Structure 1
């Protein structure tokens, strides 16, 4: 890919991909005027899945898939930025309750309730499945938070709490179309990457990477609308001085 280098952004789903593409083009153009560093986005949620070979193996496989998708070589990748949703991974087991009042819609398996910071599941079995899945995610996040490189390429894990739409609105959209509406409404109000960067600055828990994760684990922050995208923006700017 000539002398152009690529920042690979790993996100969880297609809506995340849709969201970040709105801002990253202008952000990268402002940071790297010569166009010598570009970005590519790939999407897949692997953090809640148990991988017998370890979560790094899953990220390596995702990297290989992204190289094929974008027709890149490993040497083209300068940096891997992984944006995850924390979901309910930092809730305690006692925060998961069984829904008793039939308030779940027929197609809902669980719901977040921000007023008391609880998760209500449709059944005991589903509650236990949810706890197990998010415990896997919590362990994987802990490992990747301390991971410095994937296949020799600098890597960092960033988060939105509890997921993108919650970070953007502080609310919990119920349906997929509601999630898309959240994103489109955000686009209308926050038009530029500077707007997004300022918004993330107001939603940060810390400017320090390790602290941003540790503070997220505190009971008062278990359902907070927060991010460490502020650190992501600063990390990307520093690539200007990289070899």
Structure 2
């Protein structure tokens, strides 16, 4: 048996800047609830070797790698929270524009601009299939005992936090540090920002996912992560 008193909340995030932006804020939010934050960094929905038939196995493997690392059992985990970037995944082909040369895809409210329309279509199809598998997943872990829920940033984390979906990779860390510094000692201000802004999608968890799938909403600045703070760990 583990001697852990508090329960861990594991976060699956897409990159280092997600943890840098949100980690300290979420740790402070959870601390009074006697819950603590651990992060697993992985961009799993777009990886081409990850498909609907193996995505849960991959998540479970990463969960147990983390549990082994921090010497916890599944029974010590309150929930797994998965934060994903939408990347305009649900838009139809008419929202995808081709431009050559284009070394990096550009995200706008009404278009994804890339060097190949078919590449974007293929990526979106793959990502949608993986997301749809995650959306019906309620429990994860080796013994399928850990509650699981996925929340989104649209069209990506930087879009929601900085109102810029195309932050240069070289600037992401500085932006993340600025954001963390702004809210690290103002958790209440962050919760208000993420839950009550114009981009905060209201409704039930299912309703917020139905909304982001409509037309070009997965390109616009939206998030349903506020539900995590408004309705408890599982939203």
Q: TM-score, normalised by structure 1?
A: 0.83
For residue 123 of structure 2, the aligned residue among 133, 144, 160 is 133
**Which 4+ residue blocks in structure 1 deviate beyond 6 angstroms?**
none
Q: Which secondary structure state, in structure 2, belongs to the residue aligned with residue 109 of structure 1?
A: coil
Asked if the contact 1:173/1:179 (under 8 Å) is kept, the reply is no
Corresponding residue for 1:217?
Answer: 213
- Indicate yes or no: 2:15 matched with 1:39: no
Question: For each residue in 1:112-137, what CA deviation from the matched residue of structure 2 results, as whole angstroms up to 9, or x when unmatched?
Answer: 233xx111112x3xx32332122111
Instruction: Name the residue aligned to 2:106.
Output: 111
Q: Does residue 6 of structure 1 match 2:8?
A: yes
With CA pairs under 8 Å and 6+ residues apart, which has the higher RCO, 1 or 2?
Answer: 2
1:31-67 CA distance string (max 9 Å, x none):
x1xx3x2221111111113337332222112212221
* 2:31 corresponding residue in structure 1: 29
Unaligned 5+ runs, structure 1: none
**Superposition CA RMSD, Å:** 2.2
Question: Is the alpha carbon distance of 1:11 and 1:52 closer, same or farther for their aligned partners in structure 2, counting shifts above 3 Å?
Answer: closer
Counterparts of 1:139-218 in structure 2 under 5 Å?
139-150=129-140, 151-191=144-184, 192-201=186-195, 202=197, 203-218=199-214
Residue 86 of structure 2 contacts residue 153 of structure 2 at CA under 8 Å; is this kept in 1? yes
Distance 2:120 2:68 in 1: 33
Q: 1:197: how far off?
A: 1.0
Distance 1:220 1:85, change over 3 A: closer
Report the Cα offset of residue 196 of structure 1: 1.5
Q: For the Cα contact (< 8 Å) 2:155–2:221, is it kept in 1?
A: yes
Query: C-alpha distance in 1, partners of 2:52/2:218?
Result: 28
Cα distance in 1 between the residues matched to 2:216 and 2:118 = 23
- Count the aligned residue pairs: 225
Q: Deviations over 1:53-84 (max 9, x none)?
A: 33222211221222133222222212111111
Distance in 1, matches of 2:158 and 2:38, equals 22
In the alignment, the residues of structure 1 paired with residue 68 and residue 83 of structure 2 have an alpha-carbon distance, to the nearest angstrom, of 20
Distance 1:45 1:148, change over 3 A: same
Do 1:207 and 1:230's aligned partners in 2 also have CA atoms closer than 8 Å?
no
Deviation of the 1:174 alpha carbon:
3.6
**Secondary structure, counterpart of 1:91 in structure 2:** coil
What's the offset of the Cα at 1:162? Answer: 1.1
* 2:18 corresponds to: 16
TM-score calculated relative to the size of structure 2: 0.86
User: Aligned partners of 2:68, 2:228: CA distance in 1, in Å?
Assistant: 25
1:178-213 superposed Cα distances (whole Å, 9 cap, x missing partner): 222332333354442211111112122223100001
In 1, Cα distance between equivalents of 2:125 and 2:22: 27
* Superposition pairs of residues 92-107 of structure 1, within 5 angstroms: 92-100=92-100, 102=101, 104=102
| Bigger helix fraction | 1
